Amino acid sequence: MPDRPDLPLNALRSFEVAARQGSFTRAAIELRVSQAAVSHQIGRLEDSLGVRLFHRTHGGLTLTDVGAILFPVMERGLDEIARTLDLTVSGQAVEVLNLGVVTSFATGWLIPRLNRFTDTHPRINLRLSTHNNRVEIAREGLDAAIRFGSGQWPGLEAHHLFVAPMAPLSAPQIPLKSPGDLRRQVLLRSYRSDEWPAWFSAVGEDCPPLTGPVLDSSVGLADLAENGFGVALLPLPVFARQLEAGRLVQPFAATVTLGSYWLTIPKDRRMTPGARAFLEWIRGITV
């Protein structure tokens, strides 16, 4: 076993939070201390190591080469300590899984099935937080995140869950008999500008000018469509309940697939046992 010098544990913890947050101010908020206290701890650590760990810039903090080597080691170590404490504090073997989930997937697909997971995995304490498909796993203290897209995200390892074909959905009272009828409707849009053009191309039509409102949430688009404010292009698997209840209808059979749902983790991390169990559980469900 290697010798352990007088480890400056508080300073190392301050370094990990500051590196993750990219700011002494945000680190101070997370640690519930003053910004001066964080700066002092970082200065103490840098003095003891004889190196600089951060470049201080007007835009915030960036890691030096040495800091970039130290950060993932500290992050993994503190994560392992936290998980071990979660297992031991109650005297029972319970793993906490902190999972970020894109909002539409959480509300439309996961939450209605969540009891199945908790029933079959009682030793995993699943803690969910939602996002709009933009999430920083490390900075937000997550173990993994579910998002929609191509599966190609820099620095992330993506594990495929299922494809999500998209189709126009509307309120039942909207008169739609052919794709051309959509030209007289408000076409609700997400921030992904290629979706409507791809669907119109799939049905052999030119895409009309897109002037409808832009939302960053499929849930918001579905709410507008359900209330008759326009037609939304939505992933069918996560809005099945609204379709079954008749609150939304799918006037055309044609779909377009522009992405899938993925479970993502940083490439420099190992997947936790809880995340692995969650991944296998989803893959075992027929969508």
Task: For residues 213 and 232, give the distance between their C-alpha atoms in angstroms, rounded to a whole number.
Answer: 10
The pLDDT of 136-154, averaged and rounded, is 90
Q: Is pLDDT of 154 > 60? A: yes
**C-alpha span between 225 and 138 (Å, rounded):** 35
Classify the C-alpha dihedral 179-184-185-187 as positive or negative: positive
Q: Determine the pLDDT at residue 230.
A: 96
- The pLDDT value recorded for residue 153 is 94
Structure token digits, residue 1? 């076993």
- At 224-264, the pLDDT tens digits run 999 999 999 999 999 999 999 999 999 999 999 999 999 99
Phi, psi for residue 101 in degrees, rounded to 5: -135, 130
Residue 100 has pLDDT above 90, yes or no: yes
Confidence of residue 287 (pLDDT cuts 50, 70, 90): low
Structure tokens at 250: 């799918």
Which whole-number Å values give the CA distances from 282 to 13, 109, 269, in the listed order?
35, 11, 21
Q: What is the pLDDT of residues 181-223, one digit of tens each?
A: 999 999 999 988 899 999 999 999 999 999 999 998 898 999 9
Query: Is the alpha carbon torsion for 149, 152, 155, 160 positive or negative?
Result: positive
Percent of the chain with pLDDT over 70: 93
Query: Residue 248: helix, strand or coil by DSSP?
Result: coil
265, two tokens: 């983790």
What length is written for the chain? 287
* DSSP conformational letter for 179: G
Mean of per-residue pLDDT scores for the chain: 89
Query: How many other β-carbons are positioned within 10 Å of the β-carbon of residue 91?
Result: 7
Q: What is the CA radius of gyration of the chain?
A: 23
Structure confidence at residue 22 (pLDDT): 85
The rounded distance, in Å, linking the Cα atoms of 261 and 147 is: 6
| pLDDT exceeds 90 at position 144 | yes
